[in-house]
C-alpha cells in the first residue's frame, strides 16, 4: 500500500495558514516552517506541527527532505527563491509549489526549479472575475426570464437565413427555456434547410422549424433573434425583444434583453450557460443539439475554441445521444451533391495550393460547401473555393486549412463591394446578385455566356485576393 503524501509549508502567513487548515481538514500530514517565533507558537497552540526556521537557510532543505510536497508560501519572494534553489540543489524528487509576486518573480522561480508557481494577486483577480461572471449570468438569466414571462401568447425565435446547426440548436434551447416557463415558442427561419448534414440534424432530433413564408411575424407578441447577425437584417433587429448571439451586431438596437458575446465561438455555448443557470432539466435532444452546435461551429474544437466552449461541451456531453450525433455527422450524399462535386472536380483550376472551381448551374446551393470541403482533401490543396449559379444569384463556398490565410477576409476583400460575405478564417461564403455582377439578365438563351463571364470574373477576383495569378493549370 502506498504511503500517504506529506506536506511541508515554508512561510506560514495568511496564505500558508489557509492552505494548512484545508490540508489538515483533509487529514493530511502537514509540517510548517516559519521565521516568526510568535506565529510558530500560535500554530502549535492549534495543534499544528510547526518549527521556527529561516527558509533562506541551506539546511532547511534537509529539514523537509522527508516530505513529498513542499509549498513555499512566504510573502518574501527572495526568501522563496532561496528555498527553491536549496531544495532543488538537494533533490529533484519533491514536488515544489512556490509563491511569486509578479510575472518576473514567477519566471525566476520557474527557472530555479519550482514545479508550480502561484501569484496570489492573479489568483484573487481570477476569483473576482469568476464571481463577476457568475453574478452577471445570474442577473442576465433573471432578466431573460422576465422578458419571456411577459409573453402573453407566443414567442418567435428567429434564426439567420438557411440556418446552420449552431443557430438551430440555440433556437431549440431558447424554445425549451420558454416552454419551461409555460410560454409556447416557434423557431422561424428564412430560406431553406439545405445542407444534408443540417437536414439530418433537424430530422434525427425532431426539431420543428417554421418557414418565415408560413407565418405572420406581427402576430407574435415577443420576438427573439438567436445567432441571427449573419442575416444582415437590420429591420428584424428593430422589431426584436431579445437578441442572443456570439457575433457583435453592426446596427444599434434598443431591445429589452441583449446578450452578445464575441469572446465565445458558438451561440450554443451561451444558451448552455443559461440552461445551467436556470437549472433546467436538460432534454436529451436539446443537449445533443447544443453539443453538435458547439462542435460544428468550432470544427470539432479545432477553430477559435474558447474555455467557455469547452466547459459547455463538457457539461452537455453526459446528456447527449452520441449514436444520433454519429448519424448526423455521417449523412448519405445526395445525387445532386455528387453531381456538383464531379462538376467541381472537372472544372477545377489550381494555382499552387489554391483550388478554385465552377460547378455550373445548381439547385441545391448547400452542395457547394460539401464540395469545397471534399476538395480540400486533395493532395497539396490547402484552400478551396467552389461557385455556381442558382436562379439569379452566384453562390460561392470556400474552405481553408492554411493557418496563414483568413479565407473570410479574402472573400471580403474580393467581393464585399458587390456581394454579401459571411464566415470565418477557415470557412466562408459569398452571395452575389447575378445581374449586378454580369450586367446580363438570366434566361435559357444566355446560360453558357453567363457561366463563362462568371467563371472568368470570379476566378480573377479570387486569385488576385489570394495573391496568385490565374492560369489554366486544371487538375493541379
CATH number at residue 214: 3.90.1640.10
Q: Are residues 183 and 313 in the same domain?
A: yes
Q: Are residues 54 and 165 in the same domain?
A: no
Q: Is residue 471 part of a domain?
A: no
Q: Please say whether the beta carbons of 170 and 293 come within 8 A.
A: yes
Q: What is the dihedral of CA 112, 118, 121, 123, to 10 degrees?
A: 160
Total domain count for the chain? 3
Tell me how far apart the alpha carbons of residues 62 and 36 are, in angstroms, rounded to a whole number.
20
The CATH number of whichever domain residue 357 belongs to comes to: 3.10.310.30
Tell me how far apart the alpha carbons of residues 331 and 203 are, in angstroms, rounded to a whole number.
11
Q: Are residues 81 and 149 in the same domain?
A: no
Using a cut of 0.75, tell me whether the model's pTM lies above it: no
Q: Are residues 108 and 143 in the same domain?
A: no
Q: Are residues 355 and 451 in the same domain?
A: yes
Alpha carbon separation from 258 to 122, 132, 143, 245, 273 (Å, rounded): 30, 18, 10, 8, 15
Q: Are residues 271 and 188 in the same domain?
A: yes
- The per-residue pLDDT for 476 is 45
Q: Which of 329, 359, 375 is the last residue of a domain?
A: 329
In the block, residue with C-alpha cell 418557414: 211
Buried/exposed code over 235-252 (b: 16+ C-beta within 10 A; e: otherwise): ebbebbbbbbbbeebeee
- The per-residue pLDDT for 239 is 78
Q: Which of 283, 311, 329 is the last residue of a domain?
A: 329
Q: Is residue 473 part of a domain?
A: no
Q: Is residue 110 part of a domain?
A: yes
Q: Are residues 169 and 63 in the same domain?
A: no
- The per-residue pLDDT for 218 is 87
Q: Are residues 341 and 324 in the same domain?
A: no
Tell me how far apart the alpha carbons of residues 344 and 340 are, in angstroms, rounded to a whole number.
6
Tell me how far apart the alpha carbons of residues 400 and 406 are, in angstroms, rounded to a whole number.
8
Q: Which of 294, 312, 329 is the last residue of a domain?
A: 329
Q: Are residues 415 and 281 in the same domain?
A: no
Q: Are residues 165 and 109 in the same domain?
A: no
Q: Is residue 1 part of a domain?
A: no
pLDDT by 10-residue block (mean), the chain, 476 residues: 70 87 88 92 91 93 92 92 94 90 91 91 82 88 94 92 89 95 93 75 87 90 87 65 85 82 92 92 91 88 83 92 84 75 87 90 83 85 91 89 87 88 85 71 67 83 81 51
Domain range spanning residue 52?
A: 6-119
The CATH number of whichever domain residue 44 belongs to comes to: 3.40.50.720
Q: Is residue 102 part of a domain?
A: yes
- The per-residue pLDDT for 304 is 78
Q: Is residue 353 part of a domain?
A: yes
∠ CA 360-363-365, rounded to 5°: 80
Q: Which residues pair with 242 in a beta bridge?
A: 224, 257
- Let me know if 167 is exposed, middle or buried by CB neighbors in 10 A (0-12, 13-18, 19+): buried
Q: Are residues 115 and 141 in the same domain?
A: no
Q: Is residue 124 part of a domain?
A: no
Q: Are residues 316 and 349 in the same domain?
A: no
Q: Please say whether the beta carbons of 418 and 389 come within 8 A.
A: no
Q: Is residue 472 part of a domain?
A: no
Residues 6 or more apart whose CB falls under 8 angstroms from that of 252 comprise: none
Amino acid at each position: 500500500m502506498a504511503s500517504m503524501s506529506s506536506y511541508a509549508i515554508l512561510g506560514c502567513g495568511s496564505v500558508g495558514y489557509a492552505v494548512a487548515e484545508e490540508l489538515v481538514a483533509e487529514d493530511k500530514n502537514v509540517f510548517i516552517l516559519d521565521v516568526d517565533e510568535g506565529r510558530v507558537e500560535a500554530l502549535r497552540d492549534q495543534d499544528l506541527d510547526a518549527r521556527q526556521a529561516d527558509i533562506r537557510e541551506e539546511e532547511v532543505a534537509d529539514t523537509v527532505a522527508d516530505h513529498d510536497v513542499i509549498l513555499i508560501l512566504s510573502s518574501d519572494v527572495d526568501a522563496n527563491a532561496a528555498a527553491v534553489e536549496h531544495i532543488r540543489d538537494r533533490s529533484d524528487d519533491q514536488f515544489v509549489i512556490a509563491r511569486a509576486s509578479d510575472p518576473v518573480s514567477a519566471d525566476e522561480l520557474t527557472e530555479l526549479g519550482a514545479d508550480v508557481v502561484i501569484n496570489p494577486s492573479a489568483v484573487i483577480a481570477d476569483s473576482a472575475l469568476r464571481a463577476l461572471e457568475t453574478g452577471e449570468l445570474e442577473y442576465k438569466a433573471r432578466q431573460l426570464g422576465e422578458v419571456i414571462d411577459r409573453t402573453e401568447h407566443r414567442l418567435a425565435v428567429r434564426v439567420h437565413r438557411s440556418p446552420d446547426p449552431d443557430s438551430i440548436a440555440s433556437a431549440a434551447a431558447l424554445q425549451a427555456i420558454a416552454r419551461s416557463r409555460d410560454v409556447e415558442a416557434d423557431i422561424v427561419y428564412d430560406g431553406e434547410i439545405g445542407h444534408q448534414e443540417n437536414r439530418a440534424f433537424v430530422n434525427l432530433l425532431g426539431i420543428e422549424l417554421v418557414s418565415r413564408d408560413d407565418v405572420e411575424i406581427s402576430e407574435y407578441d415577443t420576438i427573439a433573434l438567436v445567432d441571427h447577425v449573419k442575416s444582415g437584417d437590420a429591420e428584424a433587429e428593430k422589431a426584436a425583444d431579445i437578441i442572443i448571439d456570439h457575433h457583435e451586431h453592426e446596427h444599434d438596437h434598443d431591445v429589452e434583453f441583449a446578450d452578445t458575446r464575441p469572446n465565445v465561438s458558438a451561440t450554443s455555448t451561451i444558451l448552455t450557460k443559461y440552461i445551467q443557470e436556470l437549472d433546467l432539466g436538460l432534454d436529451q435532444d436539446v443537449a445533443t443539439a447544443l453539443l453538435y452546435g458547439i462542435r460544428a461551429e468550432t470544427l470539432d474544437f479545432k477553430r477559435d475554441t474558447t474555455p467557455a466552449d469547452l466547459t459547455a461541451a463538457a457539461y452537455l456531453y453526459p446528456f447527449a445521444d452520441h449514436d444520433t450525433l454519429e448519424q448526423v455527422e455521417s449523412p448519405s450524399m445526395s445525387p445532386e451533391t455528387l453531381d456538383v462535386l464531379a462538376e467541381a472536380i472537372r472544372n477545377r483550376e489550381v494555382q499552387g495550393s489554391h483550388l478554385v472551381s465552377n460547378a455550373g448551374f445548381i439547385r441545391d446551393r448547400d452542395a457547394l460547401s460539401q464540395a469545397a470541403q471534399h476538395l480540400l482533401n486533395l493532395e497539396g490543396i490547402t484552400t478551396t473555393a467552389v461557385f455556381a449559379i442558382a436562379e439569379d444569384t452566384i453562390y460561392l463556398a470556400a474552405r481553408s486549412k492554411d493557418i496563414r490565410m483568413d479565407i473570410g477576409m479574402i472573400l471580403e476583400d474580393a467581393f464585399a463591394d458587390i456581394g454579401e460575405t459571411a464566415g470565418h478564417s477557415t470557412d466562408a461564403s459569398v452571395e452575389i446578385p447575378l445581374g449586378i455582377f454580369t450586367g446580363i439578365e438570366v434566361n435559357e438563351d444566355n446560360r453558357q455566356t453567363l457561366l463563362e463571364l462568371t467563371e472568368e470574373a470570379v476566378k480573377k477576383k479570387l486569385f488576385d485576393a489570394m495573391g496568385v495569378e490565374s492560369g489554366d493549370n486544371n487538375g493541379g
